[in-house]
Amino acid sequence: MRKLLFVCCLLLAANSYAQPTPRQLFPGLFEAVQLGRVFPDNKTFVDAVPLQPPRVILAAWQQQKGNPGFRLEQFIQTYFRLPEESAATYRSNVAAGLRLHLDTLWTVLQRPAQRTAEPYSSLLPLPKAYVVPGGRFREVYYWDSYFTMLGLQQAGRTALVRSMTDNFAYLINRYGFIPNGNRTYYLTRSQPPFFALMVQLLAQAQSDTVLRRYQPALLREHAYWMAGADSLSSGKATRRVVRLPGGELLNRYWDDSTEPREESYVEDVEAARQSKQPAPQFYRNIRAAAASGWDFSTRWFGPENTLASIRTTELAPVDLNCLLLTLEETIARTYAVQGKRQTARQWEQKVRQRRQAIQLYCWNPTVGWFTDYDLVQRRPAAIRTLAGVFPLAFDVATPQQARQVGAGLQRDFLKDGGLLTTLTASGQQWDAPNAWAPLQYIAVQGLARTGQQALADTVTSRWVRLNARVFQQTGKLLEKYNVVDTHLPAGGGEYPLQDGFGWTNGVLLKFLDSKK
C-alpha cells in the first residue's frame, strides 16, 4: 500500500503542471471551429477566452447546433471573448521619426505581470512584465525575446530585460523548460535556446553576479535538451538528443506531440493528406520545425522539396548546436565566478566536445559552408542556409572556414536589402526572397567576430536602409522583409505579414546605435 501511495504521488507530481489545451477543453467544438474555418486564422480560436465553463459551453453547443439558422461564428462570439491584435489601436507618427517610433513601441507591445491564469484561457501567466512581438503574436515568444531585449538594452530599459529573463527562469522552474510561447498549446516544445544569451546580456549591465543567480535555471534547461543522452548508444536518437557514429552528442528539434498544431490545425490536417509519411510522423516533423522557429523552409524538406516531405527530426541543426554550446559555456562561467574551477573545467570540456562535433559533422567542405547534419544519410546536408553563420558568431569556425562562409555570403546571399535566408524561392516564409532580423544580427556578429567588418557594415547598412524606407512609406516595422525586390512585401507563411514587431525593433535599434 505504501509503495502504491508513493507511485500515485509521483504521478500527481508529474502531471501537476499539465494544463488542458483548447482542443482538450472543447472536444468536437474545437474541430468544428477550426476545420470549418470560422476564423481566417486558426490562432484566433485558441487564443479566445471562454466566458463560461467548458461543460456549459459544450452542452449549449450540443443543444443548439442542430437548430435551424444556427451560426457557429455567432455562437463562438457569444460564449468566448475574441482576442485583439497587440497594436490594433496604435498609429505611428512617421513625421516624428524612426527612433521615437521604436521607443513608443516598447510601451505598446509591453504586457503587465499576470500571476494567476484567467479560467480556461490558453494564456499561461507570467509573474513579471514582458514584451510581445505584435500582430497575431499576443504572447511572449522564446527566441524572439532575445532580439527584442537587445533593443530594450539599447533603450536603457534594463529593468524590463531583467523582468523578461526572470519570466523565462520562472517558466523553466515551472515546466522544466521554456515553451515556444506562454500558451498551453505550446507546452510540448521549446524554441532555439537563447536563455543563456539573455543571461549574458543582463550580466553585461549588472555584473557577473547575474550568472550565479540564474545558474539553476541554466542547468535545468541544459538537462531538458540532454534528457536521455547518458543511456543512448551510437547512431541512436531520443527526443532532442542524438549520439553520432563516433559517440559524440548533438541535438535536434523535437515536439512531444504527434497531433496537428492547435494554432494551425486546418493547415496541418490538409498538409498531412499530401504527405507519404504516417500522420503522427508528419505532425511531429511539422511541430519540430515550429520548435526551430524556421516554420517553414526547404531547409527541413526531403528531395521532393515540398512541405509534405518535411523531415526536421532527421537533422541535427548547426545553429541549435551552436546555441547549446554557448549554454554550456555560460554554465562553465557560472561555476568559475563562484571559484568552483574543477566543475567549470568539466563544463569547458563539454564545450570542447561540442565544438569538435560541430566541426566534424556540420562543416561541408564540398560547398564551403556549415550545414545541418543529416542523421539518416550520415553526412552534412547539401543545402546552404543563413544558419551557417552561427559557427562564426559562436567561435566554432576556423579563420579559413570563416573566410569561405564570408565569400559565400557576399557572392550568393547578399542582396539589396540584406541577407537571404536560403537560396531557394519556394513560397515558404523562411526561404528566398525573405529575410529576418535575427539572422541579420547573428550574421553581422559572426562577420565582425571573424575580422570581416566591411561585409558586416554592408549588411547592417542595407538592412537599416530597407527598414527605414518601409517605415517611411507605411509607418510600420515588419516581421520579415523581401530583400531581393525591396519594393515588394515579404510573402509566404500560414498567416498575413505581421507588423509590430519585437525582434525587428530590437535589431534595428542595435544596428542604428552601432552606426553612431
Helix 502-514 and helix 437-449: axis angle, to 10°? Answer: 30
Cβ pair 219, 170 in contact under 8 A:
no
d(CA 22, CA 120): 8
Nearest by Cα to 422 from 474, 376, 363, 382: 382
Location of C-alpha cell 512541405: 307
Catalytic residue check, 262? no
Instruction: For residue 242, give the H/E element and its range.
Output: strand 241-243
Nearest by Cα to 389 from 444, 430, 431, 437: 444
Cβ pair 229, 221 in contact under 8 A:
no
DSSP string, 247-266: S-EEE----S--S--GGGHH
Q: How far is CA 324 from the centre of its chain?
A: 14
Three-state SS at 291:
helix
Catalytic residue check, 479? yes
Cβ pair 362, 379 in contact under 8 A:
no
Could you give phi then psi for residue 235, rounded to 5 degrees?
80, 10
Edge-to-edge strand ranges of the sheet holding 315-316: 315-316, 373-374, 379-380
Cβ pair 263, 375 in contact under 8 A:
no
Location of C-alpha cell 456549459: 56
Q: Considering 268, 431, 479, 494, which one is annotated as catalytic?
A: 479
Question: Which residues, 6+ apart, have CB-to-CB distance to 231 below 8 Å?
Answer: none
Three-state SS at 414:
strand
Q: Considering 295, 314, 348, 372, which one is annotated as catalytic?
A: 295
Catalytic residue IDs? 295, 479
